[in-house]
Amino acid sequence: MLFAAASLTLASAACAPAADDGASADPESAPPAAGSAVRTGNYADGEYSAQGSYIPPSNQTEEVDVTLTLEGNVVTSLDVQTSGNNPTSKQYQREFTSGIQEQVVGKNLDELDVDKVAGSSLTSSGFNKALDAIRTEAAS
């Protein structure tokens, strides 16, 4: 019984709002959000290729082939090839490939986590999987 009361008190304290001391939190010093990984790799310069896949609503696996060049951990060139299996996938993949260059080239590899490009979020998922494989290869 004593354990249950202590647990209830602890749970109530966790739900209570924190005291406001007037200072705002510094977003740069805040810990990363749950589920996000802080990457701090040192990657070998060179050209790397990898494939990422995802499953759209059509339930047919789609592939994203990524080739990029790294210099000093920065992406200096990028080539993305897709192979859509249905017209809707092909449309989103075309939109993705037309907008991905500006989000990737000139950026540090560790800073890349593409969320959505030109309305295509599923293609981004496959792209991010390919980036993860490239990070692993370039770090070895």
Q: What CATH number is attached to the domain comprising 108? A: 3.90.1010.10
Over range 125-133, report the average pLDDT: 96
* Pairwise CA distance, residues 30 & 78, whole Å: 32
- pTM of the predicted model as reported, rounded to 2 decimal places: 0.70
Say yes or no to pLDDT of 83 above 50: yes
Which residues constitute the domain of residue 65? 46-139
* Pairwise CA distance, residues 79 & 124, whole Å: 14
Total number of domains constituting the chain: 1
Over range 15-19, report the average pLDDT: 39
